């Protein structure tokens, strides 16, 4: 039986029917809001390539989070922009480091707020690489110890979730063991499991001052043409103890999100990265796209692909739009 008995347009006849049969829904609890924190007090500086995204000092960040508290966001993902960089990335794991201070301030002000932290060395090393560099190479195993120390110091400051984004082999296991040894058995690990060497990170590197001074990240981040390999990355991270696995970027990798969703039963996160944000902002700023409609469509697509958690710079704005119209 087909047309004319079957008419799929009946399912779209008006908004009442459309919302009844809608398959995918967005809710602010699914969103993690990435924030950049800098040293000092009273700092609020806009990121040039990301209009509407700011770098805050911890005190201003606490105020901003307070202003958005009623939105019911899933939580924050904190990135540090330190004042001091060296070969050993020492501020990454310093108790008085920029992230550690910010996390303590956030948890003191909002004990119930879920705080996740990015664990990587690239913003803390003088050369801008995600690990220890010797002879022009990024060394895997010596980097693990520094990453594990960083994760433990974030947990000690009060982070609920640590998110290793460095793509070194074995880092999830190293982080999990170090957390457990330090008594942080309840701290979650959200691994950037399938993180691609992507040009979409361009604006972030300006925001985080984390661009590599030489070379690139292609010896550790994944090669964009590969999808099966993403499943191997995810499987290894789960074996090593990851609680949540992430695919990053999101929009150009919806197929990878879908495959990870179908292959594993763990929570899946997707990171809609800086370049995805900036592309929409730039086009919307020129009046070429309807920002609200595009952001809702793209974020819904990421969820439809299978993401449980969506990391997006649009989190507060999305939550406001959803509050105005929960069916959108």
Catalytic residue positions, numbered? 195, 248
Nearer to ligand PBG, 33 or 204 (CB): 204
| Cβ nearer to ligand PBG, comparing 162 with 273 | 273
Closer residue to ligand PBG (CB): 107 or 205 = 205
How do 44-47 and 268-272 pair as beta strands? unpaired
Nearer to ligand PBG, 130 or 133 (CB): 130
Q: For tokens 């449980």, what's the residue? A: 308
For the chain, count helices (H), then strands (E): 11, 12
Q: CA 265 to CA 260: how far, in whole Å?
A: 9
Closest CB 130 distance from ligand PBG, rounded Å: 5
| Residues 173-177: contacts with CB under 8 Å, at least 24 apart | 173/240, 173/241, 174/144, 174/145, 174/147, 174/148, 175/119, 175/147, 175/148, 175/151, 176/240, 176/241, 176/242, 177/148
Buried b (16+ CB within 10 A) or exposed e, 235-269: ebbbebbbbbbbbbbbbebbebbbbbbeebebebb
* CB of residue 201 to ligand PBG, shortest distance in Å: 4
Q: Is-contact 113 106, C-beta < 8 A?
A: yes
For residue 244, report the phi and psi dihedrals to the nearest 5 degrees. -130, 140
Spatial neighbors of 41 by CB under 8 A, at least 6 apart, are 57, 59, 60
CB of 325 to ligand PBG, least distance (A): 27
How many angstroms separate the CA atoms of 137 and 103, rounded? 32
Closest approach of ligand PBG to the CB of residue 314, in Å: 12
Q: How far is the CB of 313 from ligand PBG (least distance, A)?
A: 7
Least distance CB 11 / ligand PBG (angstroms): 37
Of residues 60 and 270, the one with the C-beta less far from ligand PBG = 270
* Contact residues for ligand PBG, defined by CB under 6 A: 118, 120, 122, 130, 165, 201, 204-205, 210, 217, 273-274
Which residue in 313, 231, 299 sits closest to 266, CA to CA?
231
Of 100 and 191, the one with the shorter C-beta distance to ligand PBG is: 191
């Amino acid at each position: 039986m087909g047309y004319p008995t079957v008419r799929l347009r009946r399912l779209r006849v008006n908004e009442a029917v459309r919302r009844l049969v809608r398959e995918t829904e967005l809710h602010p609890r699914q969103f993690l809001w990435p924030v950049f924190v800098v040293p000092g007090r009273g700092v609020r500086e806009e990121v040039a390539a990301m209009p509407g995204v700011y770098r805050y000092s911890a005190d201003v960040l606490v105020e901003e989070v307070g202003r958005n508290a009623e939105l019911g966001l899933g939580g924050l993902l904190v990135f540090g922009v330190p004042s001091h960089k060296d070969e050993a990335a020492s501020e990454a794991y310093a108790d008085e480091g920029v992230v550690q201070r910010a996390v303590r301030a956030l948890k003191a002000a909002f004990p119930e707020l879920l705080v996740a932290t990015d664990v990587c060395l690239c913003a803390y090393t003088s050369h801008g690489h995600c690990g220890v560099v010797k002879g022009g190479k990024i060394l895997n195993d010596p980097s693990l110890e520094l990453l594990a120390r960083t994760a433990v110091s974030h947990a000690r400051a009060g982070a609920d979730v640590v998110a290793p984004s460095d793509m070194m082999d074995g880092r999830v296991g190293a982080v999990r063991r170090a957390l457990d040894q330090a008594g942080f058995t309840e701290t979650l690990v959200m691994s950037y499991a399938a993180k691609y060497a992507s040009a979409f990170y361009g604006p972030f590197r300006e925001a985080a001052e984390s661009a590599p001074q030489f070379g690139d990240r292609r010896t550790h981040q994944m090669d964009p043409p590969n999808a099966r390999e993403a499943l191997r990355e995810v499987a290894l991270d789960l074996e090593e103890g990851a609680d949540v696995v992430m695919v990053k970027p999101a929009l150009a990798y919806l197929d990878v999100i879908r495959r990870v969703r179908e292959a594993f039963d763990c929570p899946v996160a997707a990171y809609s990265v800086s370049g995805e944000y900036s592309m929409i902002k730039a086009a919307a700023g020129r009046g070429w796209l309807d920002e609200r409609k595009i952001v809702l469509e793209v974020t819904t697509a990421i969820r439809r692909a299978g993401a449980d958690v969506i990391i997006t710079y649009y989190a507060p704005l999305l939550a406001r739009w959803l509050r105005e119209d929960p069916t959108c």
